[in-house]
Amino acid sequence: MSTEAPARPKLTKAWTAAEPILEVKGLKTYFPVTAGILQRTVAHVRGVDGVDLTVRQGETLGLVGESGCGKSTLGRSILRLVEPTEGQVIFKGEDLTKLGAGEMRRVRRDMAMIFQDPYASLDPRQTVGEIVGEPLDIHHLYTSKKQRQERITELLRVVGLNPNFNNRYPHEFSGGQRQRIGIARALAVDPSFIVCDEPISALDVSIQAQIINLLERLQDQFNLTYLFIAHDLSVVKHISDRIAVMYLGKVVELAGAGELYRNPKHPYTGSLLSAIPIPDPKVERGRQRIILKGDVPSPVNPPSGCRFRTRCFKAQERCAQEVPPLDTVHLDGHEAACFFPLQPGDR
Amino acid sequence: MAVDQTTITQLEGTPVSYEGGLARPAQSYWSESWERLRGSTFGMFFGGVLVVLAVIAITAPLFANFVTHVQPTSVDLSNNFAGFSRAHPLGTDELGRDTLTRLVYAARVSLGVGFLTVAIYLLIGGTVGISAGFYGGWLDDILMRFVDILLAIPTIYLLIMITSMLPLPLGPITIRHDAFSLSFIIAITVWGTVARLVRGETLTVKNRDFILATRSIGASNLRLMSRHLLPNVLPVMIVAASLGVGQIILLEAALDFVGLGVQPPTASWGNMLLNAQTYFYHSTWLVIFPGVCIVLAVLSANIFGNAVRDAFDPRLK
Amino acid sequence: MAEHLLEVRDLHTVFPTKDGLVKAVDGVSFHLDPGETLGIVGESGSGKSVTVLSVMRLLQRPGRIAGGQILYKGRDLVKASDPEMQEIRGEEIAMIFQDPMTSLNPVFKTGWQVGEPLRLHKNFDAKKALKEAIGYLQKVGIPEPDKRAEQYPHEFSGGMRQRAMIAMGLSTSPDVLIADEPTTALDVTIQAQILDLLRKVNHDFGTATILITHNLGVVAGMCERVMVMYAGKVAEQGPTADVFANPKHPYTWSLLRSIPRLDAEEHEPLRAIEGLPPDLINPPGGCPFHPRCAFRIDRCVREMPPLQPVGPTQMASCWVTQAGRDLNEAVS
């Protein structure tokens, strides 16, 4: 960013932009369910149940799914805000799951997160200047108070906030402005990778576009890589290069954004696409809907084989017996975990 | 950083003529709460009463020298049970000691113990509560079981047991029946409730996104606890403190009344009451005055405490 | 003019706060005919929820109706007494709310709750009410309704709870069903199920439906007519197809261009609406949208435009379109 910006932390291994910036291998994050007087673990909520992902530098990978699919847990596991149970998270060549606290702190200068709830993600007792300046203090980046304040002013400007707001408190701002503060905080130490966890779901519709445009502009300006997590596929399709669809802890389809929309292979993706309302009465009247039966099964005890089979209109015996791997359908840059993928005639 | 001027002006869409919701000046939670408190007439009035009592208590020696011209311990047997006069506005007790002066000195003890005890139990209970809530796991289990045991023992019983062992030589020091020691003793028997309260609030605050967000930028546990958790848990502690003062004053007076608290000749409202009991039919005033003082102090503390709670209620953010 | 089933005329609802008077609903008029579906669209602070809460006279103190009329079958509900409103609520006008988690009482069985309007309004006894309730639970698509009726709300999923709410609303065959953001808290695939159900209810039972939402896509798929609200006022009204194809208010026009559409081409830029939602205590003078409006003229800053017909089927409160300008002609 700035010519005065502190140097990036040194990595233990050399990494070049030709390799993926992030590789997730076999990631599992389980949460214990305890019961009884002695609080014994009786079961596990399988938040993330075996996910492999690759993210290239400069791209936006969208992560989409409904509640309980594990997308937020995946985002937090990558940052180790929630400890993964199994698997590897390789960021710029380093396996984050093997790092100690001090090393993790160093890495945290290079990865950041933007949170969903603009009302809960800022400390109500801190001023805006303190919130945005805290990362600078934690990593001891500026010895000169003047330079530190200049950096904070820069950050506020870049996200579109009046720098005079420095001494105000979060509750004096609207949701959209608070989200901008959160973005400024994330950018403070000049990260290369940002996990955006539902950054616009809690905002008014007329403000959402402002924040989407801001995120896109920042990505171009600072060469950022995004993992964009959301449940609204319209937004994810707009901002992402590639999209991973999650269901009950697993990725069920992975494709380029446009390709996913035009040519979905997994029945869940198909029903998700057909369920999303489009603001155009003519288009809406003419749509064919795939309405799913029933509700999402419990992540404690998922169905055997393919987890989606209990609601799938194409399910057959094989689906109950075998778990389809992600590359069951393997087209160019497009994978889907389904033995009986959607065909053009199905929709 | 090369700031692109044209894009910045595009983003700053808020026109100068209309600020949209930022009309108020910057105001922190603390100043907002203080304003709310100021708005409560009852609260401010009784807060004022407390302040006056405290000032009188602190300046007790000055009071004795310049107002009543006697010491609280000056005995004058020829003038015992005196009625109201210029020299003794509230009369004298069985030993001819001036009641007014004694009441003022006693205020030191009662108010002193009240505030000091609260400060100590906030410190202990707060530390235990935040640690248990923040770290969870076995630390939480151990600390909370300990609190459970402590809370299961009746406070009065525990207090009576401890104070009846005084004076207690403990190595180089001896714990006696003085206000300072009493504050510590009372504090260690009642910190349990505060610990539970603080732990609960810690758990609530801990799960909020901003804690996670601060962790994601690399904050250490210590930083999280001291700079982020504590300021957000403080309102609940303030509320507990404000309501505790009245309770402690009563508790201390009760201890004195059964003879296990501050011992004569040091005056406290409680032991003045105890003393005066014997002379109830003879000189009823000797009973009424300390009683009125206790009531006034506790009432003021409670009403002010309620006002503080309403003003600082974290839910009113 | 034939009498409308429900007609709201110049409604004003206010909330006194310590910072000033919040004009939550500031002169809103609309009507609803039997069997129609009307969508009320707006963002937080637009007044859409307060409008229907006013219709149901369910405002929480210190909110109060400060002016206007609410004519239901010719009767002015603003002047109705509490007992009269209690008769109407649940029996003639039913309402379902956004959060199905908290709308149902957790300590009573679901079947008992769904049957409550019947016991209250039609004097059914407990057994008969339960039987009817099970019937309605089935009509709204809950499998094994007799077993489900014996369960408590926490044993239901979000989607099923909302279905139970709809069953409860329908049980007395009301003329009007008001749904306040019924699917906002639900997953999108569940949302599709619920919207499908509401369509079915409107079709099979002929219940006039008012659907409140901030999602323009939902309105496009569900409602024959739509009313767009901004800052407590009506921005525009009309048949959904016309309003979407040819919006007559810059707010609607800008909103449509700022929403990412699933069927949009890749990398089509979003045209964000600048600025912030309005302050309802000290709204800007003139038209409340003017600070953010790309078509603003001088008059907009000074005078509030009234809601007037613009075009053959629509009404809008905008000086620019009332003067004949077509917003779609604007480049970008």
The ipTM assigned to this model is 0.85
User: Span B47-58, mean pLDDT?
Assistant: 89
Q: Name the residue of chain C whose CA is nearest to A269's CA.
A: C189
Beta strands in A118-219 (DSSP E): 193-197
Tell me the sheet residues that pair with B169.
B174
Q: Which chains touch B (3 or more CB pairs under 8 A)?
A: A, C
Angle (deg, nearest 10), helices A128-138 and A175-187 = 20
SS3 A177: helix
SS3 A32: strand
Measured in angstroms, the CA of B28 and the nearest CA of chain A are apart by 6
What is the pLDDT, as a whole number, of residue C231? 92
Q: How confident is the model at residue A3 (pLDDT cuts 50, 70, 90)?
A: very low
| DSSP track, A118-133 | TTTSS-TTS-HHHHHH
Preferred mutation among A232, A278, A296 to probe C, highest tally of C CBs within 10 A: A278
Q: Is the pLDDT of residue B314 over 70?
A: no
What is the pLDDT, as a whole number, of residue A7? 54
Q: Name the residue of chain C whose CA is nearest to B14's CA.
A: C275
pTM of the complete model: 0.84
Preferred mutation among B7, B18, B19, B32 to probe C, highest tally of C CBs within 10 A: B18
Q: pLDDT digits over A19-47, tens only?
A: 899 999 999 999 988 777 666 778 888 89
Chain A residues near residue B11 by CB distance under 8 angstroms = 159-160, 210, 214
Q: pLDDT digits over B124-165, tens only?
A: 999 999 999 999 888 999 999 999 999 999 988 888 888 888
Task: Say yes or no: C101 contacts chain A, CB-CB below 8 A.
Answer: no
Q: How confident is the model at residue B2 (pLDDT cuts 50, 70, 90)?
A: very low
What is the pLDDT, as a whole number, of residue C13? 94
Q: Is the pLDDT of residue A4 over 70?
A: no
User: What are the structure tokens assigned to A34, written together?
Assistant: 């305890």
What is the pLDDT, as a whole number, of residue C29? 94
Residues of chain C with pLDDT under 70: 1-2, 330-332
User: What are the structure tokens assigned to A127, written together?
Assistant: 């001023």
Window C:133-162, CB contacts with A under 8 Å: 157, 159-160
Check CB contact under 8 Å for B21 and C279: yes
User: Span B39-45, mean pLDDT?
Assistant: 86
Measured in angstroms, the CA of B229 and the nearest CA of chain A are apart by 9
Q: How confident is the model at residue B316 (pLDDT cuts 50, 70, 90)?
A: low
Which of A209, A238, A275 lies at the smallest CB-CB distance from C264?
Answer: A238
Task: Say yes or no: A216 contacts chain B, CB-CB below 8 A.
Answer: no
Of B155, B154, B166, nearest to B251 by C-alpha is: B155
- The alpha carbon dihedral of A97, A99, A100, A106 has a sign of negative
Task: Say yes or no: B78 contacts chain C, CB-CB below 8 A.
Answer: no
User: What are the structure tokens assigned to B284, written together?
Assistant: 């009823």
Chain C residues near residue B311 by CB distance under 8 angstroms = none
Of A24, A64, A14, nearest to A193 by C-alpha is: A24
Which of A138, A157, A162 lies at the smallest CB-CB distance from B218?
Answer: A138
Task: Say yes or no: C292 contacts chain B, CB-CB below 8 A.
Answer: yes
Q: Name the residue of chain B whose CA is nearest to A191's CA.
A: B217
CB C15 within 8 A of CB C22: yes
> Could you tell me how many residues make up chain B?
317
Find out whether the peptide bond into A163 is cis, omega within 30 degrees of 0: no
Preferred mutation among C44, C254, C273, C292 to probe B, highest tally of B CBs within 10 A: C292
Window B:17-76, CB contacts with C under 8 Å: 17-18, 20-21, 23
Which of A2, A134, A186 lies at the smallest CB-CB distance from B1?
Answer: A2
Measured in angstroms, the CA of A39 and the nearest CA of chain C are apart by 23
Task: Say yes or no: B171 contacts chain C, CB-CB below 8 A.
Answer: no
Task: Say yes or no: C279 contacts chain B, CB-CB below 8 A.
Answer: yes
User: Span A260-266, mean pLDDT?
Assistant: 92
User: What are the structure tokens assigned to A208, written together?
Assistant: 């959402």
Q: Which chains touch A (3 or more CB pairs under 8 A)?
A: B, C
Distances, alpha carbon B87 to alpha carbons A155, B96, B314, C110, in Å: 72, 12, 51, 78
End-to-end CA distance of chain A: 47
What is the Cα–Cα distance from C324 to C332, expressed in whole angstroms?
19
Q: How confident is the model at residue A346 (pLDDT cuts 50, 70, 90)?
A: low
Share above pLDDT 90 across residues of chain B, in percent, rounded to a whole number: 21
> Could you tell me how many residues make up chain A?
347
What is the pLDDT, as a whole number, of residue C330? 66
Size of interface A-B (CB pairs under 8 A): 108
Q: pLDDT digits over B196-239, tens only?
A: 999 999 999 998 889 988 888 888 888 988 889 988 898 888 88
User: What are the structure tokens assigned to C210, written together?
Assistant: 């008012």
Check CB contact under 8 Å for C219 and A279: yes
User: Span B31-49, mean pLDDT?
Assistant: 86
Q: Is the pLDDT of residue B14 over 60?
A: no
Size of interface B-C (CB pairs under 8 A): 24
What is the Cα–Cα distance from C54 to C178, expressed in whole angstroms?
12
What is the pLDDT, as a whole number, of residue A13? 58
Check CB contact under 8 Å for A115 and B212: yes
Q: Is the pLDDT of residue B20 over 60?
A: no
Task: Say yes or no: B15 contacts chain C, CB-CB below 8 A.
Answer: yes
What is the pLDDT, as a whole number, of residue A9? 55
Q: Name the residue of chain A whose CA is nearest to B12's CA.
A: A160
> Any idea what DSSP says for residue C29?
E
Which of A1, A108, A126 lies at the smallest CB-CB distance from B217?
Answer: A108
CB C218 within 8 A of CB C12: no
Check CB contact under 8 Å for A172 and B29: no
Query: Within 13 A of C283's CA, how many CA atoms are on the CB side?
Result: 25
| DSSP H or E run through C322 | helix C319-322
Q: How confident is the model at residue A68 (pLDDT cuts 50, 70, 90)?
A: confident
User: What are the structure tokens assigned to A12, written together?
Assistant: 């233990």
Chain B residues near residue A174 by CB distance under 8 angstroms = 20-21
